[in-house]
């Protein structure tokens, strides 16, 4: 698989990564541990070298899973993780990016991932009570100590990114980006392009919706994150099939699946954007990786943009209270 550069500090990863959250957090049912390990290792065999986790996924269990799965590939893969929340009694309780909390989180992540240095460390969510300059300064010290290699932010606004980058270069911003989540194109993508920061696109398949395998009749298991998302109400799903029709039309023309078209569209936007679709199924992993082989002509991208621009996406991506934690 081709590689892409994230930022100007030397970080290079596979054009498509693997988001590992759903293997133990948010998306039910979870696979058996050994099945998840096998899938992660199959991803390496198929050219993926970029894996995304976080201490709050589980909490903690996802980092342990990723660390165990990738142990045979130390030094040849890039593991990204995140800090930024209080965790109490196995639950995520509020943001916390105080310097001492960051240091504690990093020590825990190093042990669970079973590595000497974290390849890419993100602030998971902006903490309004801690100046971003203090956060960046703390991560800078951790990089100087050799405990972290590259610095990232997640779901941060343009000014926050600029302020952090002025203290220590930010290699990657991780934010949601897909054919149905494009608000970052107005301010954030131009800002990170100016600063030379890469974009790691989470939920590039719209939390599964853009694969075409979810409709208004789909029932999610109890505990599945999508049960609380406004964009996944039955009414919203029914209305949003209009976008799926556009994607499916292009899938037929390109002899591809809707998921591959959705991922290839993200890849085609900028050479420094890396999508990290998640899956728990081997056949879907192979399908997603296949998107890296699909190329669009400029006129094809214009047709997709023209067709999709007339479609109003129904429902917010998060409930209002959760959206406020993003810092956007």
318 is catalytic: no
Alpha helix ranges (H) inside the chain: 33-45, 61-70, 99-113, 132-144, 158-167, 188-195, 234-239, 241-254, 258-269, 282-290, 298-309, 320-323
| Environment class of 24 (CB within 10 Å of its CB; exposed 0-12, middle 13-18, buried 19+) | buried
Catalytic residue among 27, 28, 57, 122: 57
| Cα 62 from Cα 153, distance rounded (Å) | 19
Facing residues of 176 across strands? Answer: 202
What 3-state DSSP class applies to 208?
Answer: helix
Q: Which two tokens stand for residue 301?
A: 């991208």
Contact 224, 26 (CB under 8 A): yes
| Cα 109 from Cα 64, distance rounded (Å) | 9
Tell me the catalytic residues. 57
């Amino acid at each position: 698989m081709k590689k892409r550069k994230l930022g100007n500090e030397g970080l290079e990863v596979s054009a498509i990564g693997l988001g590992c959250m759903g293997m133990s957090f948010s998306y039910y049912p979870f696979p058996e541990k050994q099945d998840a390990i096998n899938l992660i290792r199959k991803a390496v065999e198929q050219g993926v070298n970029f894996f995304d986790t976080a201490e709050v996924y589980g909490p903690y269990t996802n980092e342990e899973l990723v660390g165990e799965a990738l142990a045979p590939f130390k030094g040849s893969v890039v593991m990204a993780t995140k800090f930024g929340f209080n965790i109490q009694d196995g639950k995520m309780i509020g943001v916390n990016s105080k310097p001492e909390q960051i240091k504690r989180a990093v020590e825990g992540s190093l042990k669970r991932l079973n590595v000497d240095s974290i390849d890419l460390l993100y602030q998971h969510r902006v903490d309004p009570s801690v100046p971003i300059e203090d956060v960046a300064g703390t991560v800078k010290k951790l990089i100087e100590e050799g405990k972290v290699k590259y610095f990232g932010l997640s779901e941060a606004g343009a000014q926050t990114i600029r302020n952090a980058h002025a203290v220590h270069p930010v290699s990657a911003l991780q934010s949601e980006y897909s054919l149905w989540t494009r608000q970052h194109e107005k301010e954030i993508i131009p800002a990170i392009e100016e600063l030379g920061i890469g974009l790691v696109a989470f939920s590039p398949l719209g939390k599964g919706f853009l694969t075409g395998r979810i409709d208004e009749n789909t029932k999610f298991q109890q505990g599945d994150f999508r049960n609380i998302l406004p964009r996944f109400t039955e009414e919203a799903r029914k209305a949003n099939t209009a976008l799926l029709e556009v994607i499916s039309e292009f899938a037929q023309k390109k002899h591809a699946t809707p998921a591959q078209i959705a991922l290839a569209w993200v890849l085609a936007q900028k050479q420094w954007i890396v999508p990290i679709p998640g899956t728990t199924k081997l056949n879907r992993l192979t399908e997603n990786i296949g998107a890296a082989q699909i190329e669009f002509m400029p006129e094809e991208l214009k047709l997709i943009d023209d067709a999709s621009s007339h479609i109003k996406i129904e429902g917010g991506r998060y409930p209002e209270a959760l959206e406020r934690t993003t810092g956007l």
